[in-house]
Amino acid sequence: MNAAALVLPEFALLLIGLLLRRYAWRSPTFWVDLERLVYFVLFPVLLFRTTLSADLAAAGSGGVVLAALGATGAGALLGAAVRWLPGVDRMTAASGWQTAFRFNTFIALALVDDLGVAALALMGVLLGVTIPLVNVLAVTALARSAPDGAGRGRGPGVLAAVARNPLIIATVAGLGGNLLGLTLPSPVDATLSRLAAAAVPLGLLAVGAALRLGGLPRGQRLMAAYLGAVKLLAVPAVALGLCALLGVDGEQRFVVLAFAAVPPATAAYVLAARMNGNGTFVAAQVSAATTAALLTLPLWLAFTA
């Protein structure tokens, strides 16, 4: 199957979610509750179950983690240049910066869902390592840029929120159980299997419903184009280069590229809005980058053929 055909089902579900939100279930609370269900229940079950049963020796390596961390760091460094673009205020720069390195967890997991337990476990490890990093970076930047100290002094709160992240908890619990040799009773495993099977399709529907197709103000288009280029072009390019340098190949390289090439997370908008940032810009930027990823993502995944 070529790369375009591989990602087409994922983007078809995004489109279905967008259409359902616009023409069927228009209540915002429905989609908020669905996203909460996926984020706090279904995806944690998926990550826990796959990491618990995975062959970790075959699933990952230090080179894979280093490639993912290096690509994320490159996105953060390159994205920081937005503060020097003309006409960009401090808070908008801090709000938009996170879209250069944050990743859509739902799409990343969906891309490796059909590859088997080892690929899912490896993606779970990458998410467990990088989710704390990107959250701390994003929240710290927004807190430091808040006017009159608003949002400052939240360091302990940020760390506590990261420690309570359900995806991290599920990954750590699954890895711990795996190392201890724990196995689930058949009825429990069957129940978790059914919950995990619903995670990817419902997650993608929720992402599609969160997309907003409104345009950006003229003064912010340069910033949006730059951030989009960093996330969709520079970050996966760095990931591919690091994979070659570190000898990461085959299915592992696919997982790293899937992690690096996905569009930014819709949670970036939630964070910006909650911390009095420019949520309007972030929402439009995430939607535009997700649309553009329909073209860029298959191209990057083609390098794993």
Tokens for 128?
């467990």
Q: DSSP readout, 107-128?
A: HHHHHHGGG-HHHHHHHHHHHH
Type of residue at 18: L
pLDDT at 162 over 70: no
Residue spans of the domains in the chain: they are: 3-212+219-302
Give per-residue pLDDT as tens, 184-235.
899 999 999 999 888 878 888 887 887 766 666 666 888 999 999 999 999 9
What CA–CA distance (Å, rounded) separates 75 from 129? 16
pLDDT at 83 over 50: yes
pLDDT at 150 over 50: no
Bigger pLDDT: 129 vs 150: 129
Select the CATH number that applies to the domain covering 3-212+219-302 from these four: 1.20.1530.20, 3.30.565.10, 3.10.105.10, 3.20.20.80. 1.20.1530.20
Give per-residue pLDDT as tens, 272-303.
777 778 877 888 888 888 888 888 998 898 88
Tell me what pLDDT residue 268 has. 81
pLDDT at 44 over 80: yes
* Those residues with Cβ within 8 angstroms of residue 134's Cβ, 6 or more apart along the chain or in another chain: 72, 98, 101, 102, 103
Question: By the 8 A CB rule, do 262 and 269 touch?
Answer: no
Pick from 190, 138, 131, 142: nearest CA to 166: 131
Give per-residue pLDDT as tens, 174-196.
888 888 988 889 999 999 999 98
- Dihedral Cα 64, 269, 226, 137, nearest 10 deg: -50
Question: By the 8 A CB rule, do 211 and 40 touch?
Answer: no
Q: Is 242 exposed, middle or buried (0-12, 13-18, 19+ CB in 10 A)?
A: buried
* Exposure string for 171-194, b = 16+ CB within 10 A, e = fewer: bbbbbebbeeeeebeeeeeeebee
pLDDT averaged over the chain?
Answer: 83
